Structure 1
């Protein structure tokens, strides 16, 4: 059974020092780099908001298309990424889920490559990771969350735990990186 890794929004603005920094957001990078080779395909998503996005009514401006904040974390190994997805690109959506990408269809890509199992990691557990996982489950994919390769915004204490519970209840499997075989 072929499997893919979905790296969600490991971008400068979600890492320490960024516009919407996640505590320890950068700590996911070495874990992700170490597991990429275990997958048949590697996919990434990036928030890619217009400067005047309605999304910024809810959140501080972040990941504005073409800015350094929207770039991948500098230590993320980009060479192994087979498909880059851009989301939140239009001024009418939040674009939390990688399945909402506007430049390519994640569903079509997975079908084209006969991927039935999707492992999800990245930022943030309680928003974009969760939305992507729940959409993957709706698509009928065998879906796993790599718990030591995610980090949460935690606007409210415990949002990370609630998100993990919602994903687990929805049907995903929670794994750690060292449990994944190549």
Structure 2
């Protein structure tokens, strides 16, 4: 079974959002083309879904500013602007994203005391979201991963998929993803490739079965 995982294609990470990824909205038509032409048996999506007082927000650390390093749960933590708060428009999927074929939505980042970049588990690896069990039950053997942002949530999701879905061909769709920092994107792609994740384009995904 061939599956597409759309990572966090939400208003908060697109132009005008509270944590906008540069040119993040540019992937929406590419993602839509993958959905419509990629011959996927299953399309799933992850959604950042933070409580208003999430511990990764700089606003919860007096004297701190967004994009400074802080701590959360005793571990180093990038402190972010408040973003993708539950029930706000910032947390909604981008309005142009074709969600009609999304068969499963995995919300993440709901625990205040730990961040959750990956769609599969929290950053401390102590709690699973349930997505790996869902995909295993569906017998997914090819998983294409794309979305926002390459150097954070997409990378973490792809690496966890590789670790948690043995025997599944994990592929990162590069042109259907955008990152926060160019050097970070380059390093993320290298890390994914080193882990055995295939780096492909949307044309590759659409042309393969």
CA distance in 2, matches of 1:55, 1:130: 18
Cα shift readout 1:83-107 (whole Å, capped 9, x = no counterpart):
0000001101211000027895111
Please show how residues 145-164 of structure 1 align to structure 2 within 5 Å: 145-154=172-181, 157-164=182-189
Q: Tell me, yes or no, if the aligned pair for 1:86 and 1:103 is still in contact at 8 Å.
A: no
Three-state SS of the structure 2 residue aligned to 1:95 is coil
Aligned partner of 1:95 in structure 2 is 116
Q: TM-score, normalised by structure 2?
A: 0.82
**4+ residue segments displaced more than 6 Å:** none
Aligned partner of 1:35 in structure 2 is 34
Q: Which residue, 166, 173, 176 being the options, matches 2:198?
A: 173
Instruction: Report the RMSD for the aligned CA atoms in angstroms.
Output: 1.5
Q: Which residue, 124, 131, 135 being the options, matches 2:149?
A: 124
Structure with larger Rg: 2
Quote how far apart the aligned CAs of 1:73 are. 0.4
Task: Give yes or no for the alignment of 1:65 onto 2:86.
Answer: yes
Aligned partner of 1:47 in structure 2 is 48
Aligned partner of 1:8 in structure 2 is 7
Q: Tell me, yes or no, if the aligned pair for 2:4 and 2:42 is still in contact at 8 Å.
A: yes
Aligned partner of 1:56 in structure 2 is 57
**Structure 1 portions without partners, runs of 5+:** none
CA distance in 2, matches of 1:115, 1:92: 32
**Structure 2 portions without partners, runs of 5+:** 59-78
Three-state SS of the structure 2 residue aligned to 1:69 is helix
Quote how far apart the aligned CAs of 1:42 are. 0.4
Q: TM-score, normalised by structure 1?
A: 0.94
- May I ask how many residue pairs the two structures share in their alignment? 179
Task: Give yes or no for the alignment of 1:114 onto 2:139.
Answer: yes
CA distance in 2, matches of 1:108, 1:171: 21
CA distance in 1, matches of 2:159, 2:23: 24
Structure with greater helix percent: 1
| The 10-residue stretch of structure 1 (96-105 or 132-141) with the greater mean CA deviation from structure 2 | 96-105
CA distance in 2, matches of 1:152, 1:130: 10
Quote how far apart the aligned CAs of 1:172 are. 0.3
Aligned partner of 2:71 in structure 1 is none
